[in-house]
Amino acid sequence: MTSPHLHINGIRKTFGDVVATDHVELEIGEGEFMTFLGPSGSGKSTTLYILAGFQDPTAGDIRLRGKSILQTPSHKRNIGMVFQRYTLFPHLSVGENVAFPLRVRRAPQAEIAAKVKRALSLVRLDGFEDRMPANMSGGQQQRVALARALVYDPPVLLMDEPLSALDKKLREEIQYEIRRIHQQTGVTILYVTHDQEEALRLSDRIAVFNRGRIEQVGTGPELYASPATHFVADFIGDSAFLTGELAEVKDGRATLRFTDGTVLADVPMHGVGAQGGKAELMLRPERIDLSDTVGPPGASLPVTVEDVTFLGNNSAVTARTGWGEPLYIRLNFGHPMMASVSRGDKLHVRWQPQDAHVFTKE
């Protein structure tokens, strides 16, 4: 078996008593766009800083093309990085900023000129060589930073929330640019963000971080369709959770009993749970159907409609289960129930068996 392009091997980092990351284990292929997604303080940035060499891990190893890089100082790692804050050198022109990595590598003048031109062209800033950073917008500055990080063809490009200082419209524009540049150059990218939409838009795979650990790694559709934990289900897409008791556990499938006696049988289950333990049923509002007839056992529940809000291309329905928990349902425009559903209706929610997940609760 060939070794992966980049192997983050069991990284653990503690600051005094605080554990910033724990057992972070990840293999990243060459040319892959991998995103670290998670809330602030989840350890995604710490992992990135360890890769950059700004911090040393307490335990674990980082291997690039099979070789550990932990003993290599930051400036010799040859890694590219775009920072959250604007980090263009304020006293140098755009051209000189992009040339900087080549100059410190003592590259010949002709090569520098050619590579700078190519890098600026890649980020669509042709002819900006003589501009000073202070006279550029935030979006332009980050594109120059991207050119500067790519000009020396690094084996890995780190991006630490590079768009968080920009407004939404500009962010989407540059996300598109980053995707195009990734496809064009084939560079391996590690991207840190707390924005799930950004992660889904950009990445080949996403590693979801929570409390210093990776909860799940997968493509966007994988994470959406089969979240491994409550946290992942909650972080990616919308979700509703119904709390009940495990009546039976068998072969990764569970039977749930709710407080009013309602029973749902044969739901796919994640995590370890014993009979009698607490568990949650997770449903996606857009994957639930509303109907006046009861569905197949294990994939249907009776509810009472409490509120209906028209939102344009869909309607948000708030319903309540027999035991009093709220459940949100999204009906697309044109759904047969859309016109008729109203407050107080006693109806049934139905779903496809593979859309329901049970997570055990500690």
> Which residues of the chain form contacts with another protein (CB under 8 A)?
45-46, 49, 52, 54-56, 73-81, 83-92, 100-101, 104-105, 132, 134, 145, 148-149, 152
- Report d(CA 36, CA 155) in Å as an integer: 18
CB of 56 to another protein, least distance (A): 7
| Vertex 119 angle, CA 113 and 123, to 5° | 145
Task: State which residue, 4 or 101, has the beta carbon closest to another protein.
Answer: 101
Q: Based on CB atoms, which residue is closest to another protein, 92 or 247?
A: 92
Q: Say how far apart CA 251 and CA 253 lie, in whole Å.
A: 5
Provide the minimum distance between the beta carbon of 87 and another protein in the complex, in angstroms, as a whole number: 4
- For another protein, give the closer residue by CB, 96 or 215: 96
CA 206 distance to own-chain centroid: 5
Q: Between residues 59 and 104, which has the closer beta carbon with respect to another protein?
A: 104
CB 100 to another protein: min, Å: 5
**In angstroms, what is the minimal distance from the CB of 84 to another protein?**
8
Q: Residue 165 region, left (φ>0) first, then alpha (ψ -120 to 50), else beta? A: alpha
Beta carbon nearer to another protein, 73 or 334: 73
**In this structure, what are the phi and psi dihedrals at residue 194, rounded to the nearest 5 degrees?**
-110, 5
Helix (H, G, I), strand (E, B) or coil at 234: helix
- Length of the chain, in residues: 362
Question: C-beta of 168: minimal distance to another protein in Å?
Answer: 22
Q: For the CA atoms of 165, 176, 87, 58, what is the dihedral angle to 10 degrees?
A: 90
**In angstroms, how far is CA 184 from the centroid of its own chain?**
22
Nearer to another protein, 73 or 344 (CB): 73
Output the smallest distance, CB 234 to another protein, in A: 25
Nearer to another protein, 88 or 303 (CB): 88
| Residue 38 CB, nearest approach to another protein (Å) | 15
- Which residue stretches of the chain are H helix? 44-52, 94-104, 109-122, 138-150, 168-185, 196-202, 220-225, 230-235
Packing angle between helix 109-122 and helix 94-104, nearest 10 degrees?
Answer: 130
Select 98 or 301, whichever has its Cβ closest to another protein. 98
Please state the closest distance from residue 172 (CB atom) to another protein, in A: 25
Cβ–Cβ < 8 Å for 192, 159: yes
Instruction: Give me the helices (H) in 53-137, please.
Output: 94-104, 109-122
